[in-house]
């Protein structure tokens, strides 16, 4: 037992000179060999239970072992050098053993990811590994593993998507965005979180979802919607009479106190155009209501009627301006 405890102290670099001398003297003793094998097995089992590490960490293990071995060059005494070889070599082997096992674990547990994106005016239907389905709106991106592992089903979203999540109480489904996460067990809901927009939103068609923000958490249910101002951090919750997935049909554009610049970016994504604002003029308008999505000019006419903002179209470019 004393030999085993001494070897363990070597691993963590907490031994005395007397212990090092004794180890060097008895290193070939069968009891020491048994102790070395026992401690090596313990390290192996502990490393198997440890969390996987990255290639960078694996390289650090190698560097640490090499530093230990190179330390021998600085020893002035041949006797001390021989002692250091016995101790440091054992520590180096243990380090490489731990690093090697963890490196193998990571390679074995790595799961490839799938990346899907849409372009201007494009929508895509996607089936996830658990059978859940989503519709990805224009200029949006999602990232998810080819199979869900662990205790959560997690995907990343930049843009807008409507989800139909397969119910599973043991494996919550999480949509991660740049500014908040949406956690559900199984439901139908819409998440709109473009990194370029000031406003983001989550709307529920059926079931319930939990929205986790940096400084708040909110639960919303069927036909409820939460609107989040990314700039100010403010959020509002309301009941919505119409569904959360009107954009899927493509016949209606809906705005709810939407800043005019966010509305312009929405039109850019749908119609693949470029919208600019007249230099030196202020545009603080908020747009609400539903607009028939017949064509770009029809939507601009509707916005002009509501806000008084005029427009000029030249090819693929739209200029918005005040009188």
Q: What is 251-323's CATH topology?
A: Phage tail protein beta-alpha-beta fold (3.55.50)
153 bridge partner residues = 173
pLDDT, averaged across the chain: 77
Give the model's pLDDT for residue 104: 47
In percent, how much of the chain has pLDDT > 70?
Answer: 63
Domain 111-244's class? Answer: mainly beta
Low-confidence winner among 109-118, 154-163, 304-313 (lowest mean pLDDT): 109-118
pTM for the complete prediction? 0.65
Tell me the pLDDT tens digit for each residue of 144-184: 999 998 899 999 999 999 999 999 989 999 999 999 999 99
CB 162 within 8 A of CB 134: yes
pLDDT band at 306 (very low <50, low <70, confident <90, very high): confident
Q: Which helix (H) or strand (E) holds 65?
A: helix 55-70
Backbone angles phi and psi of 71, in degrees to 5: -60, -25
Give the model's pLDDT for residue 30: 62
Mean pLDDT, to the nearest integer, of 24-43? 59
Do the strands 274-277 and 317-321 form a parallel or antiparallel pair, or are they unpaired? parallel
pLDDT band at 313 (very low <50, low <70, confident <90, very high): very high
Return all residues near 148 (Cβ < 8 A) that are at least 6 apart.
Answer: 129, 130, 154, 171
Give the model's pLDDT for residue 27: 57
Tell me the pLDDT tens digit for each residue of 41-78: 554 444 444 444 444 444 554 555 455 445 444 444 44
pLDDT band at 18 (very low <50, low <70, confident <90, very high): low
DSSP letter at 165 equals P
Low-confidence winner among 158-167, 213-222, 238-247 (lowest mean pLDDT): 238-247
pLDDT band at 6 (very low <50, low <70, confident <90, very high): low
Long-range contacts of 126-133 (CB under 8 A, 24+ apart): 128/153, 128/155, 130/166, 130/168, 130/171, 130/173, 131/166, 132/163, 132/164, 132/165, 132/166, 132/173, 133/163, 133/164
Backbone angles phi and psi of 311, in degrees to 5: -140, 155
Domain ranges for the chain:
2-109, 111-244, 251-323
CA distances from 44 to 48, 180, 245, 307 (A): 6, 39, 53, 69
pLDDT band at 186 (very low <50, low <70, confident <90, very high): confident
Give residue 216's Cα distance to chain centre.
19
pLDDT band at 3 (very low <50, low <70, confident <90, very high): low
Mean pLDDT, to the nearest integer, of 6-15? 51
């Amino acid at each position: 037992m004393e030999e085993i405890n001494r070897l363990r102290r070597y691993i963590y670099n907490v031994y005395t000179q007397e212990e090092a001398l004794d180890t060097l003297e008895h290193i070939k003793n069968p009891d020491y060999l048994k102790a070395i094998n026992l401690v090596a097995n313990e390290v192996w089992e502990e490393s198997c239970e440890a969390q996987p590490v990255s290639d960078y960490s694996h390289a650090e293990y190698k560097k640490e072992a090499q530093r230990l071995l190179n330390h021998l060059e600085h020893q002035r005494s041949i006797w001390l050098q021989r002692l250091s070889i016995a101790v440091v070599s054992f520590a180096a082997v243990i380090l490489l053993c731990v690093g090697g096992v963890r490196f193998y674990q990571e390679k074995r547990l790595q799961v490839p990811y799938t990346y899907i994106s849409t372009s201007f005016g494009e929508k895509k239907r996607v089936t996830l590994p658990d059978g859940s389905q989503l519709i990805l709106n224009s200029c949006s991106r999602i990232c998810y593993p080819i199979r869900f592992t662990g205790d959560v089903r997690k995907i990343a979203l930049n843009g807008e998507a409507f989800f139909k999540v397969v119910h599973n109480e043991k494996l919550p489904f999480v949509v991660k965005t740049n500014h908040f996460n949406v956690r559900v067990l199984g439901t139908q809901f819409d998440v709109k979180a473009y990194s370029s927009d000031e406003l983001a939103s989550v709307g529920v068609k059926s079931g319930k979802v939990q929205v986790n923000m940096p400084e708040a958490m909110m639960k919303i249910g069927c036909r409820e919607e939460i609107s989040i101002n990314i700039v100010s951090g403010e959020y509002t919750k309301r009941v919505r009479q119409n569904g959360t997935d009107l954009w899927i049909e493509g016949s209606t554009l809906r705005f709810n106190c939407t800043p005019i610049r966010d509305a312009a970016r929405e039109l850019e994504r749908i119609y693949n155009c470029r919208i600019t604002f007249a230099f030196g003029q202020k545009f603080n308008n908020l747009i609400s209501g539903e607009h028939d999505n017949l064509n770009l000019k029809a939507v601009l006419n509707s916005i002009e009627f509501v806000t008084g903002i005029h427009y000029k179209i030249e090819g693929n470019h739209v200029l918005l301006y005040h009188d």
